[in-house]
Amino acid sequence: MKLYHCKGARSLRPLWTLEEMGLDYELETMPFPPRFLREGYTDINPVGTVPYFVDGETEMTESAGIAQYLVDVYGPTDLALTPGDREYGAWLNWIHRSDATLTFPQTIVLRYTQLEPEERRLKQAADDYTQWFFARLRTVEAALDGHDYLCADRFTVADICVGFSLYLADTLGFKGGFKPNTAAYYERLCARPAFQRSIEL
């Protein structure tokens, strides 16, 4: 299997999952954005986004989906819950919420504060989506009340997926806005050796 990756990008989710599981994989770390800076990338992945993942005939582009695929296909692993688990629905919800609800508003902030040329930057959009992110982050704070992790009282791929959202928030300078449960949770995630390896690759 091969993962195309950019440092700091959503591809950290499947990379971290691969590292936690100890799977054998090939990694290509590319400059961002790869559709402009990695020659031939759009021939490999016509969408031009990152991550891009290949496992035999399987080709995937969605970071949370790849992470779930890895634990489902290459398990059993404590990183996964199964349909028979009481918190299976919550686990799935966190995996998908991590990108659709928590990462999405931050990408708007990133675009309109850093990636767009100066004349196209939009402070109002960045401010509005910053507030959106923090409003949605309340669900993480509440879920962690009395718990170290989001589901089943153990570290799972849901924590990897949400953990990337917190890592992105940290890189955007939002860490100071984390409430106590979220701040302590993020520190636990950052202390994991597989996370530390992943951010260096």
| Predicted pLDDT of residue 45 | 96
Number of folded domains in the chain? 2
pLDDT in tens, 41-95: 999 999 999 999 999 999 999 999 999 999 999 999 999 999 999 999 999 999 9
- Whether residue 29 contacts residue 37, with contact meaning beta carbons closer than 8 Å, is answered with no
pLDDT in tens, 155-164: 999 999 999 9
pTM metric for this prediction: 0.96
Pair 69, 109 in one domain? no
CATH number at residue 17: 3.40.30.10
- Whether residue 149 contacts residue 156, with contact meaning beta carbons closer than 8 Å, is answered with yes
Domain annotation covers residue 60: yes
Average pLDDT of span 99-114 = 95
Cα separations (Å) of 189 from 67, 73, 195? 16, 24, 7
Domain limit, last residue, from 74, 99, 130: 74
Is residue 115 over pLDDT 90? Answer: no
Percent of the residues in the chain that have a pLDDT greater than 90, as a whole number? 98
| Predicted pLDDT of residue 123 | 93
φ/ψ of residue 86, rounded to 5: -60, -35
Average pLDDT of span 127-133 = 97
Single-letter amino acid, residue 68: Q
| Predicted pLDDT of residue 55 | 98
Domain limit, last residue, from 74, 98, 117: 74
Domain carrying residue 45: 2-74
Domain annotation covers residue 81: no
pLDDT in tens, 24-39: 999 999 999 999 999 9
| Predicted pLDDT of residue 11 | 98
Pair 187, 95 in one domain? yes
| Rounded Cα gap, residues 99 and 104, in angstroms | 6
pLDDT tier, 171 (very low <50, low <70, confident <90, very high otherwise): very high
CATH number at residue 114: 1.20.1050.10
Is residue 19 over pLDDT 90? Answer: yes
